[in-house]
Structure 1
């Protein structure tokens, strides 16, 4: 499974083949059916996964009952609820399979064992969490510094295929805009093409 090893090195930096084999031995194949819940808000997430195929939606309900989609996780992305998995805090987000999904998953129990067997993992984990927070900072910066249309264009360039796979209201939510604003921008883009 060379894809796994390449992906691990992409996220965590260069590792030797023996180190990669140790890490890989802890990840197990898992499948989720469409609409199956990976983890629910209020629970504590007990697994970390790499998406092999399919789409997962990360969402929560606002105080007024509106669904807010925070992220759409696709092939080669890691998925977990950070506060739950790493900090044993109740999840804010629900993660649900939008399509059938294939994952490579490590349970929290095996994650603790991996940390004990492979002490270098703590440094790797630190780098992973730093990358997660850097991605969140980039999203916050784009929301504060870019217009809605600039955010739309950037997301479209990076995730073109999602525009044909998920309801556009989810993408609008990820981009921090109403479905109406999203539709106006999409219409303008189509007219300019």
Structure 2
């Protein structure tokens, strides 16, 4: 387990002593996942929050007709879970899939509660993380309501610059709420504009 990336992530918001960092690391479980493997399925109990060490993951919802809607992507140094279900211990609404061979560190809900008691400053860290996630999703909703599909695509490129090559056009389109064909048109227009 390479601890440096997750400890750097934590240090953006709280400072840990060596003992506190050691205790936190002791609670994590490293997991290697293969491309297309699901770490969470809809209706499964959601017991872990995951930190991406390497690779790319995708959280998506499948409706009753089988249509997929991508909710988020997670690249190295990002956290991912079905937050509503993790916090409230409800069956998962989302699926979480590896888009390539990936390595994650998982923290169980029960261990997180123990961490809060033993190292209370982690409540601050996860509060900030959840506030940031809420803010990001609120802005995404506003973008979906107010921006064109082309503008949303440009924002996507800025938000996930390292992941664009690893994500299929179909997955990007489902994140943007458009068809793959329309995304292809946007990309073609972008290429024409950049060469003229």
Same fold by TM (over 0.5)?
yes
1:16 maps onto 2:38 in alignment: no
Deviates most, 73-82 or 118-127: 118-127
Aligned to 1:167: 168
Compute the displacement of 1:191 (Å): 1.0
* CA offset digits 1:95-152 (Å, max 9, x no partner): 1112111011112232222122223333333222211111111111211221111111
Q: Are the equivalent residues in 1 in contact too, given 2:55–2:102 (CA < 8 A)?
A: yes
- How far residue 45 of structure 1 moved from its aligned partner, in angstroms, is 0.9
Number of the residue aligned with 1:182 = 183
Segments of 4+ moved more than 6 angstroms: none
Q: CA RMSD in A?
A: 1.7
| Residues matched between the structures, number | 191
CA distance in 1, matches of 2:27, 2:78: 18
The residue number in structure 2 matching 1:155 is 156
| Worse-superposed segment, 67-76 or 1-10 | 1-10
1:33, 1:97 within 8 Å by CA — same for their partners in 2? Answer: yes
TM-score (norm 2): 0.89
- Equivalent residues of 1:54, 1:100 under 8 A apart: yes
The alpha-carbon deviation at position 188 of structure 1 amounts to 0.2
SS of residue matched to 1:140:
helix
Unaligned segments of structure 1, at least 5 residues: none
